[in-house]
Chain A
Amino acid sequence: MADLSTAQKILKRIQDLVRELLQDIARGSLPVISIDRFIPCDSLTDGDGLSVYERCESQERIALKGRTSTQRIVAFMRVLLIVQGLLQQEKHASKRDVYYMDPRLFGDQVIVDQAINDICTKLKCARSSIHVFSASKGLVMGCLQYIDQGRLVDCSRHRLSGFPIPTLTDGVTPMSEAEYILLVEKETVFQRLANDGYCMKNRCIVITGRGYPDVPTRSFLRLLVNALHLPVYGLVDADPYGLDILCTYRFGSLAMAYDAEALATPSIRWLGVFLSDVRFHGIPVRCLLPLRENDKRKAEAMLKRQYLKIHAPLWWGQLQELLSTGTKLEIEAVSTISFSALANEYIVSKINNLQFL
Chain B
Amino acid sequence: MALPHQSTPFHCQAQSCTADVIPPEEVRARIEVLAKHFLESLNSPNPSISILSLVCRTTESTQFQEGFSTGSFTYLSRAAQQKKSFTQLNGMRSFVKVWKLMQIVYELLQLGKKATQRELYYRLLADSPDYFRSQQQVNDTIQDLVALLKCSRYSLGIIASSKGAVVGRLLIEDESGEVVDCTRLGPSGHIITADLGFLEGLRFRSDARYILVVEKDAIFQRLSEDRYFQSFPAIILTAKGYPDLASRVMLYRICKAFPGMPILALVDWNPAGLAIICTYKFGSTRMGLEAPRYVCDVKWLGLRGEDIELLPKEALIEFSHKDHQLARSLLASKMLENREAYKLEVGKMMEMSKRAEIEALYAHGYDFLGHYITQKILRLQYI
Contacts and interface: CB of A to CB of B under 8 A. Distances in A.
Contacts of A153: 186
Q: Please list the 5 inter-chain residue pairs (A to B) with the smallest Cβ-Cβ separation, ordered nearest first.
A: A164-B188, A335-B119, A100-B362, A161-B193, A332-B118
Interface in A126-167: 135-136, 139, 148-149, 151, 153, 157-158, 160-164, 166-167
Interface stretch (A47-55, A87-95, A259-267): A87-95
Contacts of A345: none
Contacts of A286: 125-126, 129
Contacts of B192: 161
A231 interface: no
B255 interface: no
Interface string A157-192: 110111110110000000000000000000110011
Given A167-B186, A192-B159, A332-B122, A103 B360 contact: yes
A333 B125 CA distance: 10
Contacts of A297: none
Contact of B122 (A136, A162, A333): A333
Given A195-B159, A332-B116, A332-B119, A160 B186 contact: no
Interface stretch (B42-50, B107-115, B321-329): B107-115
A103 B312 contact: yes
A93 B359 CA distance: 11
Interface in B59-118: 108, 111, 113-116, 118
B194 A336 contact: no
Contacts of B306: none
Contact of B185 (A100, A151, A188, A340): A151
Counting chain A CB atoms within 10 Å of each CB, the highest count among B160, B189, B225, B363 belongs to B225
A187 B186 contact: no
A188 B191 contact: no
A100 B311 CA distance: 10
Given A97-B362, A151-B186, A167 B221 contact: yes
Contacts of A192: 114-116, 119, 159
Given A160-B193, A164-B165, A339-B113, A188 B125 contact: no
Interface in A323-357: 330, 332-333, 335-336, 339-340
Contact of B159 (A103, A151, A166, A188): A188
A33 interface: no
Given A192-B114, A336-B123, A340-B113, 5 more contacts: A135-B221, A167-B221, A188-B161, A339-B108, A339-B111
A101 interface: yes
Interface of B: 108, 111, 113-116, 118-119, 121-123, 125-126, 129, 159-162, 165, 178, 184-189, 191-195, 198, 217-218, 221-222, 225, 312, 314-315, 357, 359-363, 366
Contact of A335 (B115, B178, B366): B115
A335 B125 CA distance: 12
A281 to B, nearest CB: 13
Contacts of A101: 362-363
Nearest to B187: A167
Contacts of A91: 366
A160 B191 CA distance: 10
B116 A191 contact: yes
Interface string A204-226: 00000000000000000000000
Contacts of B119: 192, 332, 335, 339
Contacts of A93: 366
Contacts, number: 116
A148 B189 CA distance: 13
Nearest to B114: A195
Given A100-B359, A104-B312, A136-B188, A161 B194 contact: yes
A148 B186 contact: yes
Nearest to A163: B191
A278 to B, nearest CB: 11
A107 B315 CA distance: 9
A313 interface: no
B167 to A, nearest CB: 11
Contacts of A136: 188
Contacts of A191: 116, 159-162, 194
Contacts of A96: 218, 359
A284 interface: yes
A114 B186 CA distance: 28
Contact of A151 (B114, B184, B359): B184
Nearest to A329: B122
20 contacts: A94-B218, A94-B221, A96-B359, A103-B315, A135-B218, A135-B221, A151-B184, A153-B186, A161-B193, A164-B165, A164-B188, A167-B186, A167-B221, A188-B118, A188-B161, A191-B161, A191-B162, A287-B125, A330-B122, A332-B118
Contacts of A284: 126
A188 to B, nearest CB: 5
A100 B366 contact: no
Contacts of A149: 186
A218 to B, nearest CB: 17
Contacts of B362: 97, 100-101
Contacts of B162: 161, 191
Interface string A248-278: 0000000000000000000000000000000
Contacts of B225: 92
A100 B113 contact: no
Given A100-B362, A332-B119, A287 B126 contact: yes
A91 B227 CA distance: 12
Contacts of B195: 160-161
Contacts of A135: 188, 217-218, 221
Q: Kindly name the residue among B122, B161, B218 whose own CB sees the greatest number of chain A CB atoms within 10 A.
A: B122
A94 B366 CA distance: 11
B194 A332 contact: no
A129 to B, nearest CB: 17
A141 to B, nearest CB: 10
A266 to B, nearest CB: 28
A330 B118 contact: yes
Contacts of B366: 91, 93, 97
Contacts of B314: 103-104, 107
B188 A187 contact: no
B191 A335 contact: no
Nearest to B129: A286
A335 B122 contact: yes
Contacts of B187: 166-167
B218 A100 contact: no
